[in-house]
Structure 1
Amino acid sequence: MTCQVQTKVWRGGALAESGLPLDRVSELLEEPDAFTWVDLLDPEGDDLRRLADEIGLDPHTVEDALTRNERPKAVRFKSYFFITAFTVTGMAEDDHVHRISIIVLPHGLVTVRLGGAFPVDEVVQNLEDDSDLMQLGPKALLHGLLDAIVDGYFDAISTIDDKVDALESGLFDENHAGKDVARKAFLLHKDVGRLRRIVLPMREVVGVVLRKVTTTPGEQALTPYYEDLYDHTMRVAEWSDSLRDTVESIQDTNLALGDAALNNIMKKLTAWAAIIAVPTAITGFYGQNVPYPGFSKEWGFVVSISLIIVISGALFVSFKRRNWL
């Protein structure tokens, strides 16, 4: 084996053996009173094919478990149940998203992790602390793993939600920066979209497992656990939908605020252009090289200045009342 391997065996809800070689796994999986767990971290193809030959896995299972971009899904095979999903840390950036595949056997469970960020040891330890739950077998450990995966989704989406709230609250600040808000909203929209592609298929995965548990004799004791897990999965999916709508609303509002600011600028430019046009027109009229009323007279100069002041002042007051200035 070129990858990290963990093996544990429980009997009667208590840890009986650990660190066993893989060539004993098939033998242990035949024991009805034992529960065997095998964990492979970043296995190569040969590693997983060796295990597949040992416990009789379908070639499609090996292929899907080693594919990093496989869509989350749950597939029933003749003698086992195969689940693949994504684990998430941080804000679901590409380097914080890892694959985990889970093979549920009648008396055992195999996890294949591509990336070591998921706290699988912590999940197993929490389950070991509850011996009554451990006695329920592989589906109990499967619940613990899926619950930890969904909790990771909650942490990621909560972080994104805090950033969306901060962006939304600053949208109408006096020093509102449209370009900066647009950039942040675009990045948040990408984060939400990436997380939704991970979260939404998990509704189907958990739903399939829930139906399997509720219809399998001897596993009904786990039904409340999986119903609660399914509710959490639905909540995080609905939360991601809500965040997507909120971010899109921020983008639309930011564009509207930009348009409103541009309209205000155009109003001011138009108002000042109208005011400046008054002295331009009057001085242009009095600058003619032909005689006109008041030509070469002192009172003509007074009249022209008075007209400029009165008309420009009237336009200024009019535009001010209309909030154009």
Structure 2
Amino acid sequence: MMRKLRRVISRTYRRATVDLSHPARSPLGSTVVNCVVYEDGVRQPCDGDAQNALRQVRRSDGRGFVWFGLHEPTALELAVFAEMFGLHPLAVEDAALAQQRPGLQRYEPVRGQPHGDTLVAVFRTCRYIADPQSPSGGEVVDTGDLMVFIGSDFVLTVRHGGHGSLGPLRESLEARPEQLAKGPAAVLHAIADQIVDDYLAAADAVQHDVDEVETAVFSEQAGRHDAGRIYQLKRELLELKRSAGPLERPIRALATTPLAPAGPAMQPYFRDVVDHLTRLSEQLASFDALLDSILQAHLAQVTVAQNEDMRKITAWAAIVAVPTMVCGMYGMNFEHMPELRWTYGYPLVLTVMATACVTIHRSFRRNGWL
């Protein structure tokens, strides 16, 4: 299935020569969430036509860029943008397939694209939401995919999943034109910063659940379902690590090395994102270690509780063994047995059994078995 889809994307990419200026022949549909032109950090009037927006930017002598936002585009739609911006086929293929490992790649221009290299950043968006399949109302980490293509005069964002909308981020950037004036790299930084902040918010929510589980495990009402909740939290931590862990190295590269089209002006901003990622990785590592300790403590408590139950069962079995033994002896029906014809034999035997049982019970209570 994957190979077939790759062939379709590659074939579509080679044949994509569509005139976007003609609406009737444009393959771009509802997947284009936004088409915005910025010049010197200020939003410019735009008729929404992709080709016209690109021409408008390239007439601004490097003072502006265009930002296209796509949501779950088809292979044909991606191929059209690849033709417009000279994107590498491998990057376009990854954007269509989604579920890629977070990271950063730099591609040289293809098909005679004269505007320099293209940086492709892959992110995993996430949110911590209630699990609809959990009867106890637990929460899980829900992830999506976001790929960001940036060139010298364009930003192309490709989003997969039902969350991670960039609308609020765009509005926040437009309120700071001096930041947008730094170009497409400023958009890449803002996206990376928001995604890492979302990771931190999810980690804080996980910390709240870890604290609740810790309290429950060491409370008197600790139950057998605690182990399942601990395992679920470790699984959500693993999902967060898969999303955030691979990002630290590429973001650090942006913070320390001038990578066109990012440039050195944005390095201090990316260093701030690296600091947040470092804090996040340390936080997740501490949660993981804490959950391991909580799980071990819970298993130790279960073992102690089982030992307590076995001691109580053994103690009662020992108490019951005394009358069982006496009754078993007198139930043999032999003719010559002690005190068979004595008037007080039966009360005496009952008294001996009761005395023995009480003595053994007091001994077990004294030793903490009962």
TM-score calculated relative to the size of structure 2: 0.79
Q: Say which SS state the counterpart of residue 83 (structure 1) adopts.
A: strand
Bigger proportion of residues as helix: 1
Q: Say which SS state the counterpart of residue 308 (structure 1) adopts.
A: helix
Residue 118 (structure 1) aligned with residue 148 (structure 2): no
Q: Say which SS state the counterpart of residue 43 (structure 1) adopts.
A: coil
- Give unmatched runs, 5+ long, in structure 1: none
Report deviation, 1:301. 4.2
C-alpha distance 308-156 of structure 1, shift in aligned 2 (>3 A)? same
Report deviation, 1:217. 10
Contact 2:102 2:124 in 1 (8 A): yes
Distance, in Å, in 2 between the alignment partners of 1:12 and 1:284 is 102
Report deviation, 1:219. 4.3
Aligned to 2:286: 242
C-alpha distance 135-56 of structure 1, shift in aligned 2 (>3 A)? same
C-alpha distance 50-322 of structure 1, shift in aligned 2 (>3 A)? same
Aligned to 1:280: 324
Aligned to 1:322: 367
Residue 196 (structure 1) aligned with residue 196 (structure 2): no
C-alpha distance 92-70 of structure 1, shift in aligned 2 (>3 A)? farther
Summarize deviations over 1:301-320 as a string: whole Å, max 9, x none: 45433432332222112211
Higher mean C-alpha deviation, range 110-119 or range 295-304: 295-304
Question: Over aligned residues, Cα RMSD in angstroms?
Answer: 2.6
Aligned to 1:187: 232
Contact 1:210 1:227 in 2 (8 A): yes
Distance, in Å, in 1 between the alignment partners of 2:204 and 2:141 is 19
Aligned to 2:270: 226
Q: Say which SS state the counterpart of residue 368 (structure 2) adopts.
A: coil
Report deviation, 1:297. 2.6
Higher mean C-alpha deviation, range 291-300 or range 274-283: 291-300
C-alpha distance 217-21 of structure 1, shift in aligned 2 (>3 A)? closer
Distance, in Å, in 2 between the alignment partners of 1:285 and 1:41 is 85
Which of 30, 40, 62 lines up with 1:12 in the alignment?
A: 40
Distance, in Å, in 2 between the alignment partners of 1:311 and 1:205 is 77
Report deviation, 1:43. 1.2
Distance, in Å, in 2 between the alignment partners of 1:115 and 1:295 is 87
TM-score calculated relative to the size of structure 1: 0.89
Contact 1:7 1:38 in 2 (8 A): yes
C-alpha distance 116-218 of structure 1, shift in aligned 2 (>3 A)? closer
Contact 1:154 1:236 in 2 (8 A): yes
- Give unmatched runs, 5+ long, in structure 2: 1-27, 109-116, 132-139
Which of 85, 107, 119 lines up with 2:123 in the alignment?
A: 85
Residue 138 (structure 1) aligned with residue 138 (structure 2): no
Percentage of matched positions with identical amino acids: 27
